[in-house]
Amino acid sequence: MPDSPNTRTIAADPEGIAARLADVRRRIAEAARRAGRDPAQVRLIAVSKTKPAASVAAACAAGQAEFGENRVQEALAKFTALKPASPGLVLHLIGGLQTNKAREAVRLADVIHTLDRPRLADALAAAMAREGCRPRLLIEINTGAEPQKSGIPRDEADAFIDRCRARFGGLVIGLMCIPPLADDPRPHFEWLAACARRHGLRELSMGMSADFEAAIACGATMVRVGTAIFGAR
Ligand SMILES: *Cc1c(COP(=O)(O)O)cnc(C)c1O
């Protein structure tokens, strides 16, 4: 994917990134405590899509280890050099995934959040066998039934989760959702948490810049935060 003009012209602003990261971490810890949870149960994924590698490097320098990207090509461009140089770095792919990107995705990602359909399960299984890579997987559920969004529909979720676990075993670690922009996100987060409980899955990837505190109150274990760390896109 070509960079947008902004990603080339705006400096990374390492101090701003470090300050905003510290603020987001503090808000995560407070939200966890308010919910009676251990802040260490909530992992912050810094979403660096559209932002330059220099911004990722600035966040790394400020102690951030987990990053999220939407697009395989963009993630490859940014993280191929960074990953070997930063042993603790964990890369999450959080965008809808095309089957023809499965091989690159399993080679690059530590965690894929968007397993959402049988054909993608087939493609990922084949890619893992071929590449010898075993990323952990989350199943994305389209809790708002939005036609333009990826995610398995709610009423197909139970069967799909069972099939994926039978196939991938312990690599399936949890569930992910992106509530509709116009909705109160809480009922979506609560639905996802109940679904994970029903299946004995421990990870819940939910909450973004606008709603990560609500997500933590509902049990999020991974929050995906971009704008509040790196600034507007
Ligand atoms: C972009 C994106 C985010 C981060 O969104 P912000 O509102 O910038 O925090 C989180 N999750 C997914 C799937 C995204 O595409």
**Structural domains in the chain?**
17-230 (3.20.20.10)
Token pair of 161, please? 């989760």
Q: How far apart are CA 208 and CA 222, in angstroms?
A: 10
> Which pLDDT band holds residue 12 (cuts at 50, 70, 90)?
confident
User: Is the CB of 225 within 6 Å of ligand 1?
Assistant: yes
Ligand 1 atom, smallest distance to 230 CA: 8
By alpha-carbon position, which residue is closest to atom 10 of ligand 1? 224
Predicted confidence (pLDDT) per residue in 136-193, tens digit: 999 999 999 999 999 999 999 999 999 999 999 999 999 999 999 999 999 999 999 9
Sorted by sequence, the CB contacts under 8 Å of residue 203 that are 6+ apart come out as 138, 173, 174, 175, 196, 221, 222
- pTM for the full model? 0.94
Predicted confidence (pLDDT) per residue in 103-128, tens digit: 999 999 999 999 999 999 999 999 99
> Which pLDDT band holds residue 86 (cuts at 50, 70, 90)?
confident
Predicted confidence (pLDDT) per residue in 27-75, tens digit: 999 999 999 999 999 999 999 999 999 999 999 999 999 999 999 999 9
Ligand 1 atom, smallest distance to 227 CA: 8
| Whether the predicted pLDDT of 6 surpasses 90 | no
Token pair of 107, please? 């080679």
Q: How far is the CA of 207 from the centre of ligand 1 (A)?
A: 8
Token pair of 123, please? 């493609």
> Which pLDDT band holds residue 201 (cuts at 50, 70, 90)?
very high
Token pair of 136, please? 């952990």
